[in-house]
Amino acid sequence: QKSVAAVPSPADEGREEFRRGSAVDALTRAILDHLYFTQARPLTLATRNDWYMALAYAVRDRMLDDWLKSLSHLRNRELKIVSYLSAEFLMGPHLGNNLVNLGIMEPAREALAALGQDLDELLRQEEEPGLGNGGLGRLAACYLDSLATLRVPAIGYGIRYEFGIFDQEIRDGWQAEKTDKWLRLGNPWEICRPEITYEVKVGGHTERFTDEKGCVRVRWVPNKVVKGVAYDTPVAGYRSGVTDLLRLWKSEAVESFDFQAFNVGDYYRAVEAKIFSETISKVLYPNDEPEIGKALRLGQQYFFVSCSLQDMVRIHLLRENSLDTFAASFAVQLNDTHPSIAVAELMRLLVDEHQFEWDAAWQITRATLAYTNHTLLPEALEKWPLPLFASILPRHLEIIYEINRRFLDEVRLVHQGDDQLAARLSIIDENGERYVRMAHLASVGSHAINGVAALHTELLKQTVLKDFYEIHPELFRNVTNGVTPRRWMVLSNPGLTRLITERIGDGWVTNPDELRGLEPFVADQTFQSAWQKVKRENKSVLAGVIKARTGIVVDPASLFDVLVKRIHEYKRQHLKVLHIITLYNRIKHDPQADVTPRTFIFGGKAAPGYFMAKLIIKLVNSMGEVVNSDPDVADRLKVVFFPDFNVTNGQMVYPAADLSEQISTAGKEASGTGNMKFSLNGALTIGTLDGANVEIREEVGAENFFLFGLTAAEVSDLKSGGYDPRKWYGEKTELREAIDQIAGGLFSHGDRGLFQPLVEHLLNRDDYLLLADYQAYIDCQDRVSAAFRDRKRWTEMSILNVARMGKFSSDRAIREYCSDIWQASPLPQD
205 is catalytic: no
| Complex with ligand CR1: residue 428 or 452, whichever CB lies closer | 452
Q: Alpha helix (H) ranges present in 552-690?
A: 573-589, 611-629, 647-653, 674-680
CB of 465 to ligand CR1, least distance (A): 15
The span of 47-55, 135-143, 526-534, 768-776 binding ligand CR1 (CB under 6 A) equals: 135-143
Task: Map residue 30 onto helix, strand or coil.
Answer: helix
| Complex with ligand CR1: residue 67 or 645, whichever CB lies closer | 645
CB of 767 to ligand CR1, least distance (A): 16
Does position 374 bind ligand CR1 by CB under 6 A?
yes
| Complex with ligand CR1: residue 354 or 477, whichever CB lies closer | 477
Which entry of 374, 440, 668, 807 is annotated as an active-site residue?
Answer: 374
Whole-angstrom CA distances from 392 to 201, 223, 385, 673 are: 9, 9, 11, 35
Does position 671 bind ligand CR1 by CB under 6 A?
yes
| Complex with ligand CR1: residue 673 or 685, whichever CB lies closer | 673
- The three state secondary structure string of 477-527 is EECCCCECHHHHHHHCCHHHHHHHHHHHCCHHHCCHHHHHHHHHHCCCHHH
Does position 139 bind ligand CR1 by CB under 6 A?
yes
571 is catalytic: yes
374 is catalytic: yes
Q: Using the CB atoms, write b or e for 769-781: b if 16+ within 10 Å.
A: bbbbbbbebbebb
CB of 7 to ligand CR1, least distance (A): 47
- Cα–Cα nearest to 427, from 415, 417, 437, 419: 437
Helix (H) or strand (E) holding 316, with range, is helix 295-319
- Cα–Cα nearest to 554, from 616, 636, 454, 651: 636
Which entry of 673, 685, 688, 795 is annotated as an active-site residue?
Answer: 673
- Measured between its terminal Cα atoms, the distance across the chain in Å is 46
The C-alpha atoms of residue 470 and residue 414 are separated, in whole angstroms, by 12
How many residues of this chain interact with ligand CR1, rule: CB under 6 A? 17
Q: Which of residues 314-353 bind ligand CR1 (CB under 6 A)?
A: 336
Does position 669 bind ligand CR1 by CB under 6 A?
yes
For 46, half-sphere exposure in the C-beta direction (CA atoms, 13 angstrom radius) is 28
CB of 374 to ligand CR1, least distance (A): 3
Given 670, 689, 758, 780, the residue binding ligand CR1 (CB under 6 A): 670
The C-alpha atoms of residue 779 and residue 354 are separated, in whole angstroms, by 64
**How does strand 243-253 pair with strand 428-429?**
unpaired
CB of 337 to ligand CR1, least distance (A): 8
Question: What's at 304, amino acid-wise?
Answer: F
Given 481, 497, 622, 704, the residue binding ligand CR1 (CB under 6 A): 481
677 is catalytic: yes
Which entry of 440, 461, 487, 677 is annotated as an active-site residue?
Answer: 677
Does position 92 bind ligand CR1 by CB under 6 A?
no
Q: Which of residues 674-733 bind ligand CR1 (CB under 6 A)?
A: 691
The C-alpha atoms of residue 323 and residue 692 are separated, in whole angstroms, by 39
Does position 539 bind ligand CR1 by CB under 6 A?
no
Positive/negative CA dihedral, 553, 558, 564, 568: negative
- Cα–Cα nearest to 672, from 648, 654, 696, 655: 696
Q: Which of residues 423-462 bind ligand CR1 (CB under 6 A)?
A: 452
807 is catalytic: no
Site string for ligand CR1, 284-303 (x = CB under 6 A): ----xx--------------
Instruction: Determine contact, residues 768/668, Cβ cutoff 8 Å.
Output: yes
CB of 87 to ligand CR1, least distance (A): 9
Contacts of 584 (CB under 8 A, 6+ apart): 626, 627, 630, 633, 637
Which entry of 447, 566, 618, 697 is annotated as an active-site residue?
Answer: 566
CB of 816 to ligand CR1, least distance (A): 14
Contacts of 754 (CB under 8 A, 6+ apart): 618, 622, 745, 748
| Complex with ligand CR1: residue 50 or 88, whichever CB lies closer | 88
The span of 372-380, 491-499, 574-582, 755-763 binding ligand CR1 (CB under 6 A) equals: 372-380
| Complex with ligand CR1: residue 244 or 289, whichever CB lies closer | 289
CB of 134 to ligand CR1, least distance (A): 6
Instruction: Determine contact, residues 249/232, Cβ cutoff 8 Å.
Output: no
| Residue whose beta carbon is closest to ligand CR1 | 135
Identify the burial level of 521 via C-beta atoms within 10 angstroms of its C-beta, where 0-12 means exposed, 13-18 middle and 19 or more buried: buried
Given 136, 332, 343, 770, the residue binding ligand CR1 (CB under 6 A): 136
Report the interface residues with ligand CR1, using CB under 6 A: 135-136, 139, 288-289, 336, 374-375, 380, 452, 481, 669-673, 691
Residues labelled catalytic: 374, 565-566, 571, 673, 677
